[in-house]
Amino acid sequence: MKKSASPRVSKSAERITAILDVLQQTYPNAVCALHHKSAWQLTVATILSAQCTDVRVNLVTPALFKTFPTPKAMAAATLPELEELIRTTGFFRNKAKSLQGAGRIITEEFHGKVPQTMPELLRIPGVARKTANVVLGTWFKIADGIVVDTHVLRIARRLQLTKQTTPEKVERDLMRIIPQSQWIDFTHRIISHGRQVCIARKPRCADCPLEHLCNAPDKTFSSH
């Protein structure tokens, strides 16, 4: 069905609340899809998730963590050893260097423990704001920012919560309009929504619980 003309949606407090309420009702138990048992494992898994699916990462990490279970062990690993274990995640040479470097920095500068602040996390090789936000929010429950992956960026633009196109700018826009108390859950729920309903190539708008709040130009269905 062709989308009928409708007024531009707003970023009003009422609309934001409605979006957050729908996400909470639809995905009440949404969590990070990367398997991990520690902040270190989550850091490694998130580094590996760049340009790779979480499903693939979860297939790779058990053997990786068994072979190199600690930052110190990862730092001592050779690049060929790491590359072989993570080859199927893509960009494995750069990722191997990042993992080796992350193990070294965490061992030498942070006494073997993943730090709990954004500035410290950003000193770790392979860690940018997205990875740092994942670790802070998912493991430490610290809402320092909002994770902006491909799902969050796409859906934030479709819902007209931002006009920006870079993760950093999208994150700034979202932090201004989403209550900080919901930053962590918002991320998990939007990612779940992006995987299950608001799919990149063909969004399932007819099945979308947010459809009545969305005026995206690429909608495949509209009840407006």
pLDDT tens digits, one per residue of 92-122: 999 999 999 999 999 999 999 999 999 999 9
Query: One of 54, 95, 144, 149 is an active-site residue; which one?
Result: 149
Ordered by where they begin, the domains of the chain are: 13-30+146-213 (1.10.1670.10), 39-139 (1.10.340.30)
For residue 79, how many other CB atoms are within 10 A of its CB?
Answer: 13
pLDDT of residue 7: 41
- Tell me the three state secondary structure of residue 68: coil
> Measuring CA to CA, which residue among 85, 191, 92 is closest to residue 137?
191
Q: CA-to-CA distance for 210 and 194, rounded, in angstroms?
A: 12
Cα–Cα distances in Å, from 1 out to 8, 158, 220, 221, 224? Answer: 19, 18, 7, 5, 11
97 is catalytic: no
Does 19 or 9 have the greater pLDDT score?
A: 19
Provide the mean pLDDT of the chain.
94
Catalytic residue among 130, 144, 173, 185: 130
Percent of the chain topping pLDDT 70: 94
pLDDT in tens, 162-212: 999 999 999 999 999 999 999 999 999 999 999 999 999 899 999 999 999
149 is catalytic: yes
Residue type at 95 in one-letter notation: K
Confidence grade of residue 5 (pLDDT, cut at 50, 70, 90): very low
What values do phi and psi take at 99, rounded to 5? -65, -45
